[in-house]
Structure 1
Amino acid sequence: MSGRGRGSGHRAVMPPAEFQATPRLAPDGLEVTVINKGGHARVFDFGELKVPVPMQHSLARTFAAQSRTWTGHASANSYWNSVLAFDRFLDAQGHPAQDLDELTSATLRLWRNNHKETAGGRNSMTQMRTLLKRDRRLAVGLAAEELARRVPSRGPSKQSYEGPERERMVLAAERQFRAALLRIRENTFLLEQWQAAEFTERSREGRIGAILDHLAKTGDVPRTVHASGQSSVTNTALLGGAGALVTWGRLFLTRQELTALAVMLTDRFAWNLSMFDRVPVPVRTPSAGEARTITYQVQVEKRRAGGGRWFSMENITDSGADSPGRLVTKALEATAHGRALAARLAPGIDLLMVARSQQPSMAVNDLDRPPRVGPLAFGVSYDDGKRWGRSHGLGGSPFQRSRRTTVTQEGRPLQHSRGTHESVYVLPDKNVQKAARSVIAAGAEEALQRARDTTFKGRLTNAADPGHQETATTDCADEETSPWPAPAGGCGADFLLCLACPNSRVHTGHHPRLAHLHQQLTALHSAWPEEMWRGRWDNHLQRLEDLRDKVSSLVWDAALARVTGADRTIVDLLLKGQLAP
């Protein structure tokens, strides 16, 4: 049993005998009812389609079957729009099929070609493909083969913000929310002073305090109702006007100010826009040994994660002005009066993102979002984001781009899987690709340098030169110009580094000793820990292998037959580190 079940104090019981779940498909086979997570129903009437009646029934059945996977009306509306688009397409053909089993591959191919070039068209293709594949009659045949074709994908239409764009967006949100927080903080302090009887009743502060008390309890300032039935703010002179910010806005956020807060939260935590509609008030937990530190537990909703994985908890700590949790602290302070009023008007509501609606009487059409409580609205809609973006000259809603920016900058999955992180957020993002160029170039340069460092840099000769100095591994043409000069002059390199020196010369007389050294280093590899091996011997072995390739493996292997006792002694001393240059 879940924790919720254990703590509820109620036993699981069977429903009453007369109980019946709302059927998805009406008896006439044409109306499909979709009930969202909040218990609200919406009916989709397939009898309105222009296709023949048998096909109307078939589409309704597939729609009803698919609806079992939906938890909100948003998915239902999206699929319904795809059905309407498919209906218009078939009607335009002049002689549509009577039912789904009469759809030809040519018709489906034409539908595909007409819709594959736009994002909306590809979405309709994907959804209709899902619905049509639910009909068993389309499981085989040429039409089934056409449905099996993958829907062409394009890069995401939204890209992450570049540095200046993001700074502009965040600065606009911070300025708007900070002004709102200071306004609410100032009026809250005045209200607390009035409640503590620190003002006289006739003083200006005392009169405003009384208005604020009325505002906190009702969600609005006192108003005068005129004979016409319309009302106006009673104390405009005292309050400084009748606008929202000097009346009910003294204790409540406006919708645009709440949107600014959501923009800041998305930039900080990469939360989905839909999460703001349902995020509960964060739970404050004690921080052991840290009196000034506050840790919040925030419930994060992942609606696409599947049953049983919708929710997770994030611990967010407020340890100072620049810590992530400080924004949560400010959000709690700015929404305190809204949350208190909501709890009085509708006990049990415990949502963080609350604002006072400019038009409380306006009906809410989106039943997937929390219903209003009195003058209060919860969460942030897509339209709120578009209005906020346009008002700040950003062109549109900032949420998708802001979330993408935070996810790519964090470099790890946030509210989604590793596969989604890589395929949807990281790889298609142009700013990530642009930033990766320098990383890839640096990696290529490093690889090239490493390749150069592990290759034989000397020269191959046929015979020894009497003017060259013999070393333990090669001959040296000029030790005075060594890449590793000694403090007292000459060369200070280890004899194994001779292979990396352009002054080194290797002739056939060196082959037996070097081939034996290569053989011993190869045997030594299996006896050493990998990390120690790479630090001490790996580069030398790679240079020997590069030299073997230059000499040829046949000559190299044949040289092993000519290894002398002196060669073995010198190699042994080299490996023991007992040969000084």
Structure 2
Amino acid sequence: MRQFAVFLERTAPDLTGPEQLKAAHIKAFRMSLVPESNRRTRMKALRRILRGDPILPAGARAELLDVPLAKAAVPEPVTAYTDVEIQQIMTALRSDVRRSRDRIRTARTLLAQVRSGDVDMQSPDGVLGGVLDHYDRHGDVLRLANGKPEQRLAACGGLRVVLPLLCPTAREVAAFAVLLTALTGENFSTVAAWPAIDHRPDGGIGEPSLALIEAVKARRGPDREHMVTALEDLPPVLAGVLTSDTEEVRLFRSPLRIYLLLVELTEMSRRHGGHDRAFGFVVPNSAARWRSSPDSTALTRWCREHGFPGVPTAQPGGKPAINVRRLRQSVIEGGHRPVAHTRNTRDRYLQRSRAVAEDSRIVVGEALRGEVAKARQRQSIQIIEPAVVAAAGTDLAEAARQAGLAPEVLASMVAGQQDTVAAACTDDTNAPDAPPGQPCSASFLHCLDCGNARALPHHLPVQITLRDQLAALRPNLDPGVWRVRYEPRILQLDELISHYTAAEAEHARNKVTDSQRRMIADLINGRLDLR
């Protein structure tokens, strides 16, 4: 409302109240708002405030409420980085971490030598060591009475050179934070607030393997924001990456080792800054010199320093824009495991991944094709066609060849001597689930699953009647029991019956005998099963 009032004061100073507003005033204010996102937000707020004003003129009300606003821009989906992009980012991060480690350790070695008297204090190293000694003890360099640093500081390079010799800079700790985000999958803000205090379940004996850190993730809500983060020496998902056991390789693939290195390098920041954060840094040209927890500004400056563009200016084929949400997405996609969230939240991360969606389509497709193949196998009992049965009466050998059976077996099946209930069996002593040579003891309903089963035309009346009887059981049984026990059989029988025409099926329905009906009833009631 203040912005609207200032605009009206500048463009229509004669207005004294809302009853004098016109459509042109509303339109001019709307068009003055840029960019489009700001226009949408401001106009929605103005609508909420003025919609209930009873003295707002009709024209102004129509301009305010009836004019459609541009739809909010749909945010780009968060996608994982490619392997090439990850390599570019990690190379820059490791370079800064390595440079910070080497610089600070070298300066501390010089400081130790100066304090032990091993360095000539008149030499350049001695002068620098003396400056570092005072800086390390007091958190500041020696100064003159007017507050300016001593002249010998200039010989060492000035504040910008000397102060970072014993403590990382803001951009370097930002690199540490991004590197730990890329290794653990934790949120950048959560990582940046990690304390320098950890618990070692191994008691600190031997090589470090695990450290537990108390962290805070505010977005989880007040009841669940406090959590314990476990930093491993080498997560299982990265174990296969190692090609050697050198210290450098292990360092940059171990969240625990990076964390312990960070705590080591930021000790001076905690000592003089009075905080307990793992991420501490020094700002040379500032009264508030000792800081903790790098923010997005430090990350932006680090990106600019290393040539990583912002999101709007990133070009295909060039360096990627650094987005900590994309880094976290990459970790979750690579590990397929929750990172400080539930499995349902993890699944939402994975659902927006093109790579995971493509992999999922392949996996689901293979599973579905496998299930279809199994279903077809279960429903595809070999059917001996009526023409083959008729040919068996004149040329048994040729008919048996067409049916893929021994002549004597085909003759016995055509005569009905090897019938079960809804099919015939080629060999009841060679059952899939019985020892070779032993008679099959499975239920006759399971014949529909057996590779020994063959369906002949004279089985059609029994198949149709059995199918009808099983369907009639559905209203009288528990739905789950019926679906598991009988629905697959109906599907198999439908598959067999579909090989015949409707006229053939109707003719067979009328040919079923009373003895066949009794046999079907005994089968359904279990009286044909072996006990």
Q: How does 1:137-536 map to 2 (within 5 A)?
A: 137=51, 151-156=71-76, 158-188=78-108, 191=111, 197=116, 199-200=117-118, 202=120, 209-219=129-139, 233-234=153-154, 236=156, 247-275=162-190, 279-285=193-199, 287=201, 291=205, 293-302=209-218, 308=222, 311-319=225-233, 324-343=255-274, 349-357=275-283, 360-361=285-286, 373-374=288-289, 376=291, 378-382=293-297, 384-385=299-300, 387-388=302-303, 391=306, 393=308, 394-409=319-334, 411=336, 425-459=349-383, 461=385, 465=389, 467=392, 468=410, 469=413, 470-472=418-420, 496=446, 499=449, 504-512=454-462, 515-516=465-466
Asked if the contact 2:198/2:213 (under 8 Å) is kept, the reply is: yes
Aligned partner of residue 352 in structure 1, secondary structure: coil
Deviation at 1:51, TM superposition (A): 2.0
State the distance in 1 between where 2:449 and 2:344 align. Answer: 46
CA 261–323 in structure 1, closer or farther in 2 if over 3 Å, else same? closer
1:178-236, Cα deviation, whole Å (9 max, x unpaired): 332244345445545666x4x4463778766544332323556668999x999673554
Match of 2:7 in 1: 51
Segments of structure 1 that go 5 or more residues without pairing to the other structure are 1-28, 31-45, 57-90, 344-348, 362-371
State the distance in 1 between where 2:436 and 2:342 align. Answer: 61
State the distance in 2 between where 1:418 and 1:387 align. Answer: 33
**1:505 partner amino acid:** A
Aligned-CA RMSD value: 5.7
TM-score when normalising by structure 2: 0.63
1:516-548, Cα deviation, whole Å (9 max, x unpaired): 488579979979998xx97x9886564345446
Asked if the contact 2:170/2:298 (under 8 Å) is kept, the reply is: no
CA radius of gyration, larger in:
2
State the distance in 2 between where 1:189 and 1:148 align. Answer: 68
Asked if the contact 2:441/2:530 (under 8 Å) is kept, the reply is: no
State the distance in 2 between where 1:235 and 1:329 align. Answer: 33
Match of 2:492 in 1: 543
Asked if the contact 1:453/1:500 (under 8 Å) is kept, the reply is: no
1:332-351, Cα deviation, whole Å (9 max, x unpaired): 223222222211xxxxx333
CA 190–233 in structure 1, closer or farther in 2 if over 3 Å, else same? closer
State the distance in 1 between where 2:25 and 2:128 align. Answer: 74
Segments of structure 2 that go 5 or more residues without pairing to the other structure are 55-60, 235-249, 309-318, 393-409
Question: Identity of counterpart residues, as a percentage?
Answer: 15
Match of 2:406 in 1: none
State the distance in 1 between where 2:369 and 2:18 align. Answer: 62
CA 559–547 in structure 1, closer or farther in 2 if over 3 Å, else same? farther
TM-score when normalising by structure 1: 0.58
State the distance in 2 between where 1:189 and 1:537 align. Answer: 81
Aligned partner of residue 288 in structure 2, secondary structure: coil
Asked if the contact 1:302/1:309 (under 8 Å) is kept, the reply is: no
State the distance in 2 between where 1:483 and 1:174 align. Answer: 65
- Aligned residue pairs, count: 456
1:68-110, Cα deviation, whole Å (9 max, x unpaired): xxxxxxxxxxxxxxxxxxxxxxx7x9x9998599586997899
Asked if the contact 1:455/1:500 (under 8 Å) is kept, the reply is: no
